[in-house]
């Protein structure tokens, strides 16, 4: 781990070949597997539950980064932790007692993450920033992979970077939605440290291996946004 991680979101995987596709991600150098859990209420789509997390756990050693786009996430934390989640990320919009929910995630032995929808201001999570192990900025409207990247998300990442640094927090600052070889450098420049990608990996025209490698290549480039030497 080099301080930056690529999280492959299986939302765009071929589910008839999920095990093989996760294995390719792993051998290509993906750091985490991102699992998008949707309930058809909080977002207009229904996807996966603990059963899929448990299946992923059996085929990979990579940490499972579980993004809960569901109402009442506190009712399902234990099931996802038992299924093998390494991190559980809950939406501020769904958690009336966000601090307690984050503490419960930690007590289950998981990395506690909080995520903001694109229209939710940073101030809504300010009081829990010191508690969070991961802060996720959604750079698309949640529900589907392949959405349009929202450029204003970069300012939100920069704001969170300043706030996390001021707190002395080493929390991951993750971005999710429309991340590809063009948008990743902008988000890295803004201060993000973890990059989720579904389509850029699983729908890459040259395949999954090339998709992961194209993102990794951007992490190695140290000149993002810098003036030409």
Catalytic residues: 36, 176
Pick what 140 binds: ligand DX5, Zn ion, none; C-beta below 5 to 8 Å, kind-dependent: ligand DX5
Smallest distance, ligand DX5 to C-beta of residue 151, A:
14
Closest CA to 60 of 110, 7, 123, 135: 7
Radius of gyration of the chain (CA): 16
Q: Give the whole-angstrom CA distance, residue 210 versus residue 178.
A: 17
Packing angle of the helix pair 50-59, 18-28 (nearest 10 deg): 60
Nearer residue to ligand DX5 within complex by CB, 84 or 211:
211
Beta carbon of residue 219, minimum distance to Zn ion (angstroms, whole number): 19
- Nearer Cβ to ligand DX5, position 133 or 176? 176
Q: Which stretch binds Zn ion (CB under 5 A): 46-54, 98-106, 158-166, 171-179?
A: 171-179
67 scored as a contact of Zn ion (CB under 5 A): yes
Applying the rule CB under 5 A, the residues between 18 and 47 that interact with Zn ion are 36
DSSP per position, 155-224: HHHHHHHHHHHHHT---EEEEESS-STTHHHHHHHHT--EEEESHHHHT-TT-HHHHHHHHHHHHH-TTT
**Of 48 and 108, which CB lies nearer to ligand DX5 in the complex structure?**
48
35 SS3 class: strand
Give the E-state strand segments of 23-120 in sequence order: 32-38, 64-69, 87-91, 111-116
**Smallest distance, ligand DX5 to C-beta of residue 115, A:** 8
Q: Residue numbers of the site for ligand DX5 (CB under 6 A)?
A: 9, 11-12, 34, 36, 67, 140, 142-143, 145-147, 176-179, 196-200
Q: Which residues bind Zn ion (CB under 5 A)?
A: 36, 67, 176
């Amino acid at each position: 781990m080099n301080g930056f991680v690529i999280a492959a979101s299986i939302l765009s995987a071929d589910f008839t070949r999920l095990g093989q596709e996760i294995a390719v991600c792993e051998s290509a150098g993906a750091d985490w597997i991102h699992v998008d859990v949707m309930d058809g209420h909080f977002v207009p789509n229904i996807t996966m539950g603990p059963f899929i997390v448990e299946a992923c756990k059996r085929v990979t050693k990579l940490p499972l980064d579980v993004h809960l786009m569901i109402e009442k996430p506190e009712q399902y934390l234990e099931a996802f932790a038992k299924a093998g989640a390494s991190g559980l990320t809950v939406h501020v919009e769904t958690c009336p007692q966000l601090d307690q929910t984050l503490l419960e995630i930690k007590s289950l032995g998981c990395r506690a993450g909080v995520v903001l929808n694109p229209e939710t201001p940073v101030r809504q999570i300010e009081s829990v920033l010191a508690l969070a192990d991961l802060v996720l900025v959604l750079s698309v409207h949640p529900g589907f992979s392949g959405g349009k990247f929202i450029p204003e998300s970069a300012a939100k990442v920069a704001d969170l970077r300043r706030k996390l640094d001021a707190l002395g927090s080493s929390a991951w600052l993750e971005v999710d939605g429309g991340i590809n070889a063009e948008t990743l450098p902008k988000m890295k420049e803004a201060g993000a440290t973890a990059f989720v990608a579904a389509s850029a990996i699983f729908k890459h025209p040259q395949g999954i291996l090339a998709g992961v490698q194209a993102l990794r290549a951007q992490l190695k480039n140290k000149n993002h946004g810098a003036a030409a030497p």
